[in-house]
Amino acid sequence: MALLRLAIRATDETASMDIPTFEDVLKAHERIAPYIHRTPVMTSSYLNQLTGAEIFFKCENLQKVGAFKARGASNAVFGLSDEEAKRGVATHSSGNHAGALSFAAALRGIDATVVMPHNAPAAKKAAVRSYGGKIIECEPTQAAREATLEQLVAESGADVVHPYDDPRVIAGQATCVLELHQQCEALDAVVAPIGGGGLISGTCLALSTLAPEIRIYAAEPAAADDAYRSFHAGEIVTRDAQQSVADGLKTNLRPRTWHFVSKFVSDVLLASENEILDAMYLTWERMKIIIEPSSAVPLAVMLKNRQLFEGQRVGIIITGGNVDLKHCPGCK
Amino acid sequence: MALLRLAIRATDETASMDIPTFEDVLKAHERIAPYIHRTPVMTSSYLNQLTGAEIFFKCENLQKVGAFKARGASNAVFGLSDEEAKRGVATHSSGNHAGALSFAAALRGIDATVVMPHNAPAAKKAAVRSYGGKIIECEPTQAAREATLEQLVAESGADVVHPYDDPRVIAGQATCVLELHQQCEALDAVVAPIGGGGLISGTCLALSTLAPEIRIYAAEPAAADDAYRSFHAGEIVTRDAQQSVADGLKTNLRPRTWHFVSKFVSDVLLASENEILDAMYLTWERMKIIIEPSSAVPLAVMLKNRQLFEGQRVGIIITGGNVDLKHCPGCK
C-alpha cells in the first residue's frame, strides 16, 4: 500500500516538476569537463578486510573547491546564455555549494552573491570570498534567508541556483557516478550520503539508465534522519533544525529529490554521530586522505551493515574534504 | 679548501664502503614492483600560487605501510637468498622502517624482529605487530639498542637491515625519485626531507645518473640540524638526542649517506618546528591528504626560500602519512 501511494504521489508531482534526464547528464559532463577534475578512485586493502567488501572510493574531496558541489554549480553557471549570465548568479547556502557557485561564477567572469546567516562559520565565509563571491548576511532563519535572496534577485535579476532542488544541479552531480561507473567495472552497489538529496538524485538518474542492476543506498546521520523517515513513511517527512557533525547533511528532501529517492533507492541506512566520526578518522588514518564528516557516513553504514555488502564490489562517493582543522569535530 | 677536504674524505671513505650503483636502483625497482605501489603525483594550484613554483608531490603517504620505507625494506628482504631468508631479518627502529621491514618479511613469509625502546609510542608498536613483526624491548639508549640487536643476531643469524645505512635500503629508496622522474618531465629541482639520509642518498644516486641537471635540496628541521651542520663543516657533525616534531628526521648522517650528501646535494635548508606544522596543516587543508610532520619540511623550506624555486618545476617527496591522530602534534 505504501508503495502504491508512493507511485501515485510521484506521478502527480513530477507532472509539475522539471526532472532532468540522462541526456542532461551527458550534456552536463561535456559542459563541465574543462572546469572540474576527473577525480581518482582509491582503494584500501585494510578497509576491504574490515568490511569484507571491495570498496572503490570516488574521491571528490580532491575535486575543485574540495567537494562534488563544483559539478552541479559549474553545470548551472555554464549552461546560462550570455544574456542570463550577465545578471550573475545567487544562492543561499552556508556550505560547500556557496564556495562552488562562487568558483564557477569566477571562471565564467560573472558575479555570484551568496546569502548566508551572519553566524555562519568564518571558514565558510572565507571560502566564498577566496573565490570572489559576494556575501549578503541575514538572520539565521530559513525565512530570513529566503526573503533576503528574493529581494536580492528582484534587484539584480540574478539566476538562483539552489544547492540541490534544481535540475541543472542534479544533472551536474550525476556526472560523479557517471565517472565512477566508467572507472570501476561491475559494481554491485553504490553508497552515497544524503542531505537534501541532490547527489543521490543524480546518482539515481545516471545509474537507472546506465546500470539499473546496481543497488543504490543512501547513508544518513541518525541525528538528521528526515530521508529515513520519509523512506519509511512513503512520503516526504521534514524535520526542523536538524543537527549533526555531518554538517552537509542537515537539509530536508524536496519533491524533486524525493522523486528519485522514492523510485530508485534500495534503502536509507543510518549512522550515529560517533560512528560517523570513527569512520572519518579511520579513513584519515588508513587512507591518508582528509574527508569531511558527511563523507564518512557511507563507510560508517557499511561497517554496521556488513551482511548487505559482504563479498560485493561497492562504490562509495567521498563527497568532500572541507574540514575546519582549527575546530576539528570531535578531534581525538 | 672545504670542498677539497670533502673530496679527499669522500674518496677515503668510499674505498671501504659498499656504495650502491645506478644498476642496483634499476634492479631494486624490478625486484620490489610486485609488492609496492607506484604512488601518484599530485599537484595543487593553490600551493603553486603560494610558492610561485610548479610543485609535483610524489605521494609516498599512499605507499604500502604509509611510507617510502616500504621500498628499501622490500628491496633488502627480497634480495636475500632463500638460505639467508630462512634466518629472518632484524633491525632497531622506532619509526616507519620497523613497520616496513615487518611488512616485507611477512610478504616473503619470514621472521622480522625489531628492537625498540620500551617507551616507543604504542601506535608504532601496534604497526609492527599488525604486520606480524616481533618486538624485543630494550632500554631507550643507543647503546642498549645496539647491544640487544647484536645479541639477537648472534642467536638467530638474522640479517640486519639498517634503516638507512645499508646499500640495499638506499637503492630501494632511490626507486621513489626514479618513478617521479618518469612521471614528471623536466624538473628543475627535487626537495626531500633528510634525517639519516637514506632517501636523499637514493635520490642523489638515481638523479646523478638520470638527470644530473636537477638540483637536489635536503630539507631538515632546524631543531635536528646535523645535516646542515655537516654540510657547512664539510664533514659529518653528529648531534645527540635531537628532538623535533618531525620524528622521522632526528637521526644522524653516517659515512655512507654523507658520501651522497656531500657530493650531490645543492643545499640543506632548515625549517622551524612551527613552520613544519604550519606546512603540514596547510597540506592537509588544501590537498586533502594526511602527511606526517617529516613530509612537510620540504614545503616549509620552499615557502621561506621562495627565490630559489620561483618559476621552476619542483618535485617534493611526501615521505609518509603515519600520524597518530590521537596525539596529533600541535593539533590546532
* String of DSSP letters for B44-98: -HHHHHHHTSEEEEEEGGGSGGGBTHHHHHHHHHHTS-HHHHHT-EEEE-SSHHH
Measured between alpha carbons, how far is A275 from B221 in angstroms, rounded to an integer? Answer: 37
- Confidence at residue B124, expressed as pLDDT on a 0 to 100 scale: 83
Cross-strand bridge partners of residue A91: A114
- Residues ≥6 apart with Cβ < 8 Å to B225: B239, B268, B270
Residues of A in Cβ contact (< 8 Å) with B285: 290, 323, 325
Q: Total structural domains in chain A?
A: 2
Of A62, A281, A290, the CB nearest to B284: A290
| CA-atom Rg of chain B in angstroms | 19
Cross-strand bridge partners of residue A115: A92, A136
Higher-confidence position of B143 and B47: B47
- Is A288's CB within 8 Å of B289's CB? yes
- Is B61's CB within 8 Å of A288's CB? yes
Q: Please, are residues A222 and A265 in contact by the beta-carbon 8 Å criterion?
A: no
- Is A325's CB within 8 Å of B285's CB? yes
Count other C-beta atoms under 10 Å from residue B38's C-beta. 11
- Give me the percent of chain A exceeding a pLDDT of 90: 83
Find the closest chain B residue to A288 by CA distance: B290
- Do A48 and A184 fall into the same domain? yes
- Do A104 and A191 fall into the same domain? no
Of B289, B290, B332, the CB nearest to A326: B332
ipTM attached to this prediction: 0.89
Does residue A332 form part of some domain? Answer: no
pLDDT of A11 above 80 = no
Count other C-beta atoms under 10 Å from residue A325's C-beta. 15
- Confidence at residue B329, expressed as pLDDT on a 0 to 100 scale: 59
Q: Which of B43, B63, B277, B288 to mutate to test binding with chain A, by most A CBs within 10 Å of its CB?
A: B288
- Do A55 and A202 fall into the same domain? yes
Does residue A84 form part of some domain? Answer: yes
Nearest to A48 by CA among A293, A302, A270: A302
- Our CA-based measurement puts residue B222 at a distance from the nearest CA of chain A, in whole angstroms, of 25
What single-letter amino acid sits at B317? I
- Our CA-based measurement puts residue A42 at a distance from the nearest CA of chain B, in whole angstroms, of 10
Sequence-ordered alpha helix ranges (H) in chain A: 2-15, 22-32, 45-51, 69-78, 82-86, 96-108, 122-130, 142-156, 167-183, 198-210, 226-233, 255-264, 273-287, 293-304, 306-309
- Do A50 and A89 fall into the same domain? no
- Do B218 and B320 fall into the same domain? yes
Residues of B in Cβ contact (< 8 Å) with A285: 290, 323, 325
Measured between alpha carbons, how far is B112 from B98 in angstroms, rounded to an integer? Answer: 9
Taking the alpha carbons of A165, A56, A308, A321 in that order, is the dihedral positive or negative?
negative
Q: How many residues does chain A have?
A: 332
Could you report the per-residue pLDDT of B41-87, keeping only the tens digit for each?
999 999 999 999 999 999 999 999 999 999 999 999 999 999 999 99
Could you report the per-residue pLDDT of B181-227, keeping only the tens digit for each?
999 999 999 999 999 999 999 999 999 999 999 999 999 999 999 99
Residue whose cell numbers read 615487518:
B102
- Do B184 and B250 fall into the same domain? yes
Nearest to A112 by CA among A91, A94, A126, A93: A91
Q: Which residue, of B113, B135, B160, is where some domain finishes?
A: B160
- Do B271 and B229 fall into the same domain? yes
CA distances from A130 to A95, A106, A125, B50 (A): 14, 10, 9, 13
- Do A50 and A191 fall into the same domain? yes
Residues of B in Cβ contact (< 8 Å) with A289: 288-290
Mean pLDDT of chain A: 93
- Confidence at residue B35, expressed as pLDDT on a 0 to 100 scale: 98
What mean pLDDT comes out for the span A292-299? 97
- Do B115 and B218 fall into the same domain? no
Q: How confident is the model at residue A169 (pLDDT cuts 50, 70, 90)?
A: very high
Higher-confidence position of A199 and B9: A199
**φ, ψ at A314 (rounded to 5°):** -125, 130
Residue B247 carries which DSSP code?
G
Q: Which residue, of B112, B140, B160, is where some domain finishes?
A: B160
β-bridge pairing A215-221 and A189-193: parallel
pLDDT of A14 above 90 = no
Burial class of residue B183, CB neighbours in 10 A (0-12, 13-18, 19+)? middle
- Confidence at residue B135, expressed as pLDDT on a 0 to 100 scale: 96
Could you report the per-residue pLDDT of A33-65, keeping only the tens digit for each?
999 999 999 999 999 999 999 999 999 999 999
Q: Which residue, of A160, A185, A214, is where some domain finishes?
A: A160
Does residue B332 form part of some domain? Answer: no
DSSP H or E stretch at residue A81: none
- Residues ≥6 apart with Cβ < 8 Å to A8: none
Does residue B229 form part of some domain? Answer: yes
Measured between alpha carbons, how far is B310 from A160 in angstroms, rounded to an integer? Answer: 41
Residue whose cell numbers read 537507472:
A208
Measured between alpha carbons, how far is B199 from B192 in angstroms, rounded to an integer? Answer: 8
- Confidence at residue B6, expressed as pLDDT on a 0 to 100 scale: 41
What mean pLDDT comes out for the span B272-289? 97
Q: Please, are residues A78 and A172 in contact by the beta-carbon 8 Å criterion?
A: no
What mean pLDDT comes out for the span A194-217? 98
Of B281, B289, B323, the CB nearest to A289: B289
Of B66, B285, B326, the CB nearest to A288: B66
Nearest to A221 by CA among A243, A205, A199, A204: A243
Q: How confident is the model at residue B5 (pLDDT cuts 50, 70, 90)?
A: very low
Q: A281-309 burial, b if ≥16 CB within 10 A, otherwise e?
A: bbbbbbbbbbbbbbbbbbbbbbbebeebb
pLDDT of B316 above 90 = yes
- Is A288's CB within 8 Å of B328's CB? no
Does residue B185 form part of some domain? Answer: yes
Q: How confident is the model at residue B1 (pLDDT cuts 50, 70, 90)?
A: very low
Taking the alpha carbons of B205, B207, B210, B212 in that order, is the dihedral positive or negative?
negative
pLDDT of B280 above 60 = yes
pLDDT of B312 above 70 = yes
- Confidence at residue A45, expressed as pLDDT on a 0 to 100 scale: 93
* CATH number of the domain enclosing A8: 3.40.50.1100
- Residues ≥6 apart with Cβ < 8 Å to A224: A195, A239, A242, A243, A244, A246, A249, A250
* Strand residues in chain B grouped as ranges (E): 41-42, 54-59, 89-92, 112-117, 134-138, 159-160, 189-193, 215-221, 267-271, 313-318
Q: Please, are residues A159 and A84 in contact by the beta-carbon 8 Å criterion?
A: yes
Which strands make up the sheet holding A313-318, listed edge to edge? A41-42, A54-59, A313-318, A189-193, A215-221, A267-271
- Confidence at residue A10, expressed as pLDDT on a 0 to 100 scale: 46
* Strand residues in B159-207 grouped as ranges (E): 159-160, 189-193
- Do A106 and A251 fall into the same domain? no
Q: How confident is the model at residue A329 (pLDDT cuts 50, 70, 90)?
A: low
Taking the alpha carbons of A129, A133, A137, A138 in that order, is the dihedral positive or negative?
negative
Q: How confident is the model at residue B332 (pLDDT cuts 50, 70, 90)?
A: very low
**φ, ψ at B8 (rounded to 5°):** -65, -45
Could you report the per-residue pLDDT of A115-125, keeping only the tens digit for each?
998 888 888 89
Measured between alpha carbons, how far is B313 from A134 in angstroms, rounded to an integer? Answer: 34
- Residues ≥6 apart with Cβ < 8 Å to A89: A76, A77, A80, A101, A104, A105, A110, A111, A112, A113, A158, A159, A160, A161
- Confidence at residue B330, expressed as pLDDT on a 0 to 100 scale: 54
Q: Please, are residues A104 and A74 in contact by the beta-carbon 8 Å criterion?
A: yes
- Do B154 and B172 fall into the same domain? no
What mean pLDDT comes out for the span A82-87? 97
- Do A207 and A278 fall into the same domain? yes
What mean pLDDT comes out for the span B34-38? 97
Measured between alpha carbons, how far is A42 from B18 in angstroms, rounded to an integer? Answer: 39
What mean pLDDT comes out for the span B105-130? 92
The range of the structural domain enclosing residue B153 comes to 69-160
pLDDT of A5 above 60 = no
